[in-house]
Structure 1
């Protein structure tokens, strides 16, 4: 009978072992087991054996905990007060070029001759950070196109598996989504074509809200963080 569950038990233990082996980083002392498999003494015993410095605990009603949580969340997403950021999240921006810090390959000039570095990863949420439901995690005032002929602005959201990420071109980065604000008035100076935007954490999504400050036109986009 035990052999029927060996593969599942081994998979769970191998996953937990990665945290147990690096416990100085995570500081875990208890493995709280919930779900239909939680009440199996074979599973709790295997976890206790493989992760000996932890205490494996099975609360009363453990088998229904996940189901109850799903029902509660379906009625009211705000019941989950905090979530832990899975990745480090940032926006793609240009910033003033710094000699010796930024790669020469990323040097670009605007129409006024000012030097900028492209492909910058500007972090707004770091992996492992606790983030509240409906929390504004990033706000930008007065973003504008890089050249005078442009009638749009791209807001590009990235994620990274590395906390201290500098550039969106790094192998650890991947693009989550792009919100393009189009229809900016090219008859006015570039520095007057401004877009304000915020990024808000809502449940399992990032919501991007953008406003063309000239026309008052509003746009939004939702980025699913579960993918």
Structure 2
């Protein structure tokens, strides 16, 4: 009998030791992890709501807000949207978690099925504009061969963030002139940014793509290049035509969305 009691006590001691050394620390870590996940979710939810608020403020008469994706199945997210946007009808379709995948498949089969999209960035090209001390940083200033002060890597905006781009595309046309009389080429570098009123390209910008434009040596004097940008649903079609020769250079870049 004493041996049985002694064995029971040993088992209880072992169980207590396991709980103390293994189970309890695991439960404590689980509580911390759950707390961090809840905090992360709440921060992410607030960021989503603030982003949607900006869109609602930009585009008038939004009556319906459609919530899709796995995140959209959260009851906390749904209730938060109903509270933050009481004048809008919050729609949660069946199988909302599959909506993004189904939309991608639908777009792949028929791009025109989606009528328009809203740009998330300002898109533009690098340029060597005339230096303006009011908007350009001094460290970007240089003097060209003609003695003209210019800004290196100035940002020439082509299209603004939050612009509604139809499925058929939105066209932007620019005319580029060489900086020097004997210049025979230039590179068209395209970037995008979330910065409002950005004047120069810095490390926060995202590189989109580049075209190298040139003219034959026999072309003398000034020449012009007509730059043609078509912002579509998921890409930018860029073509540049040298007016003096009719030569066209073109390429397609993905919109960084």
With structure 1 as the length reference, what TM-score do the two structures score?
A: 0.75
Match of 1:124 among 158, 183, 208: 158
SS in 2 for 1:20: helix
Equivalent pairs counted in the alignment come to 215
In 1: Cα distance, 2:150 partner to 2:237 partner:
28
Match of 2:216 among 167, 185, 188: 185
Verify the 8 A CA contact 1:93 1:118 in the aligned structure 2: yes
SS in 1 for 2:84: coil
Shift of 1:31: 5.3
Match of 1:212 among 242, 245, 248: 242
Query: What do residues 86-132 of structure 1 show as CA deviations (whole Å, max 9, x unaligned)?
Result: 11111111222334443444334444444433321111222222122
In 1: Cα distance, 2:167 partner to 2:218 partner:
40
Query: What do residues 156-194 of structure 1 show as CA deviations (whole Å, max 9, x unaligned)?
Result: 1011121221101x3322321111113x123333412x2
Unaligned runs of 5+ in 2: 1-29, 58-62
Verify the 8 A CA contact 2:136 2:199 in the aligned structure 1: no
Structure with higher strand content: 1
Partner of 2:197: 164
Query: What do residues 31-75 of structure 1 show as CA deviations (whole Å, max 9, x unaligned)?
Result: 53334675x5xx2x2214555434753224645544443333122
In 2: Cα distance, 1:68 partner to 1:118 partner:
45
Partner of 2:8: none
Verify the 8 A CA contact 2:165 2:233 in the aligned structure 1: no
With structure 2 as the length reference, what TM-score do the two structures score?
A: 0.68
In 2: Cα distance, 1:207 partner to 1:8 partner:
42
Verify the 8 A CA contact 2:208 2:256 in the aligned structure 1: no
Measured at CA, do residues 33 and 10 of structure 1 come closer, stay the same or move farther in structure 2, by a change above 3 Å? farther
Unaligned runs of 5+ in 1: none
Structure with higher helix content: 2
Verify the 8 A CA contact 1:148 1:186 in the aligned structure 2: no
In 2: Cα distance, 1:144 partner to 1:15 partner:
46
Match of 1:69 among 103, 106, 109: 103
Verify the 8 A CA contact 1:108 1:118 in the aligned structure 2: yes
In 2: Cα distance, 1:116 partner to 1:60 partner:
57
What RMSD, in angstroms, separates the aligned Cα atoms of the two structures?
A: 3.3
Check if 1:150 corresponds to 2:220: no
In 1: Cα distance, 2:45 partner to 2:65 partner:
9
